[in-house]
Structure 1
Amino acid sequence: MKHSQVSVRWKEGLHLRPATRLVERAKAFQSTICLKVNERLADGRSILAVLLLCATFGSVVDLEVSGEDEDQALAAVTAVFECENSDAADITDFSWDTEDPRL
């Protein structure tokens, strides 16, 4: 089991964009990822649970990761919090089909 603490660096707090990136990264691993903010616990694979942490700018997030790939999982989740810009933690690769007549 690995533990780490990170801070929310985004003035908007842990909102939908970085939370989505965090959950996507968490789902890529076999390990269990738990986040804790002020006695609130969240499963790192649940977008709703992560958003309900209500982590604001400056909040300290305790990360607890356990499993076969815990080192890699912890590094991946920590990397989300290291982005200075919350939009940089967003998914920016959208592939639009401009040939589609419905667009």
Structure 2
Amino acid sequence: MSNKTITLQAEDGLHVRPAAEFVKMAKGFESDIKVSVAGKSANAKSLFKLQLLELVKGANVLIEAVGSDEQNAVETLSDFLVSLK
């Protein structure tokens, strides 16, 4: 298992448009990927489930992946979240 925690800095948090891009990126990996915030977690490959999380500015987001490309998945997805403005 590979994981990383980042703090969302985007003013609008992870709203629908970047969340859809995040899900599309996550679906490109074979690993099972989970996103957790404030004790709640969701499958990173489900836009609907991600939208149920409180992905707002300042939230500490844990990305966990298990599978053949887990390290790359965690790094790519966390870099994407950090890059949001």
**TM-score tier (shorter):** over 0.9
Structure with more contact order per residue of length (Cα contacts < 8 Å, sep ≥ 6): 2
Between structure 1 and structure 2, the one with the greater Rg is 1
Taking the TM superposition and a 5 Å limit, the aligned residue runs for 1:58-77 are: 58-77=58-77
- Which stretch shows the higher mean deviation, 32-41 or 72-81? 72-81
Taking the TM superposition and a 5 Å limit, the aligned residue runs for 1:1-103 are: 1-85=1-85
The code of the aligned residue for 1:66 comes to: V
Q: Distance in 1 between matches of 2:21 and 2:6?
A: 16
Deviations 1:29-73 (A, max 9, x none): 100110100111110000011111021100000111110011111
Which ranges of structure 2 fall in alignment gaps of 5 or more residues?
none
Q: Distance in 2 between matches of 1:3 and 1:54?
A: 19
Partner secondary structure for residue 21 of structure 1:
helix
Runs of 4+ in 1 over 6 A off after TM superposition: none
TM-score scaled by structure 2? 0.93
TM-score scaled by structure 1? 0.78
Q: CA RMSD in A?
A: 1.0
